[in-house]
Amino acid sequence: MEIHILASGSTGNAALFKFGNTTLLVDTGISARRIEQGMAEVGLKAGDLDGILISHEHNDHIKGLDVLVRRHQIPVFTRPKTWEKLPCRHNFLPECCLEIEQEFSIGAVRINAFDISHDAVDPVGFSFYYQKKKVVMLTDLGVVSSRVEKALEGAHAAVIEANHDLDMLENGPYPRFLKQRIKSSNGHLSNVHTGRLLARLPCLPGMRVFLAHLSQQNNHPDLAEKTVARILSSSGYKPGKDIYLYRTFPNSRSSISL
Ligand SMILES: [Zn+2]
Ligand SMILES: [Zn+2]
């Protein structure tokens, strides 16, 4: 199994998962050209994709969707209300526009889509099950519900948002309404939120965690990793042993295989 975060941050998100012969892309928030380049770097072509999953309709998750799907006729999976927010659907073949339910499968992968709290019409997180392994994709959420905690239980790997540092957000350049929006229950998780979430979960030993969707204005990869690691350490976890943290970047790839 391989996970390649092609890009992550407020400017654009795309995460590539290779489960054996099944290749999935979650979100297309960078250009089709960059997705094709990122896939080529790991020996794959866009035509190899078995499906594209869209978490929600914000531009940093769909920017490259129209061109990518028109160019390669890849099936796209999202919720019905999210489809209504995607005018590009009219450019796609009907067989490329697929609606997801709570449980579905693509190729060899079983997928569970679960509700998250965010200011989009019907946003989702995803749990992937493949050969006794579970991987969770979880960005763009303002609060951690019991449903989200349940989704993370027993995960071997997860891509989790650590969007902002609260002090950087407070003292940063964003207007007040935007700061409030980010901090709200429909906004984004801070580094501290994410650290606490991981610290209170019954994590599997050696769980791999990508810290994702970092704000370029209100966070820094060093700070996100240090904050989460500090909270984990104070809860008795040994980062780098009990749990592995990986940074993600807006303009370069971050990969693991497991
Ligand atoms: Zn969003
Ligand atoms: Zn986003």
For 38-73, the pLDDT digits (tens) are: 999 999 999 999 999 999 999 999 999 999 999 999
CATH number at residue 86: 3.60.15.10
What does DSSP assign to residue 116? Answer: -
Question: Residue 16: what pLDDT?
Answer: 98
- Cα–Cα distance measured from residue 28 to residue 58, given in angstroms and rounded to the nearest whole number: 10
CA of 12 to the centre of ligand 2 (A): 7
In a domain, 258, yes or no: no
- Cβ–Cβ under 8 Å, residues 243 and 198: yes
Structure tokens given for 174 = 């964003």
In a domain, 187, yes or no: yes
- Cα–Cα distance measured from residue 200 to residue 64, given in angstroms and rounded to the nearest whole number: 36
Instruction: Say which ligand is closest to the CA of 187.
Output: 1
CA of 57 to the centre of ligand 2 (A): 9
Assess whether pLDDT exceeds 90 at residue 204: no
CA of 183 to the centre of ligand 1 (A): 13
Instruction: Say which ligand is closest to the CA of 250.
Output: 2
CA of 183 to the centre of ligand 2 (A): 14
Q: How many domains are there within the chain?
A: 1
CA of 241 to the centre of ligand 1 (A): 32
Question: Residue 32: what pLDDT?
Answer: 98
Average pLDDT, the chain: 97
CA of 185 to the centre of ligand 2 (A): 14
In a domain, 116, yes or no: yes
Q: Would you put residue 140 in left (φ > 0), alpha (ψ -120 to 50) or beta? A: left
CA of 146 to the centre of ligand 1 (A): 20
- Cβ–Cβ under 8 Å, residues 248 and 224: no
CA of 242 to the centre of ligand 1 (A): 30
Report helix, strand and coil shares of the chain as percent, to nearest 5: 30, 30, 40
Cα atoms found within 13 Å of the Cα of residue 244, Cβ hemisphere only: 12
In a domain, 139, yes or no: yes
In terms of residue numbers, what domain contains 132? 2-253
Q: Give the pLDDT band (50/70/90) at residue 126.
A: very high
In a domain, 65, yes or no: yes
Structure tokens given for 57 = 């309709």
Residue 145 has a CB neighbour count (10 Å cut-off) of 14
Residues 211-235 pLDDT 10s: 999 999 999 999 999 999 999 999 9
CA of 208 to the centre of ligand 2 (A): 21
- For residue 83, the one-letter residue type is W
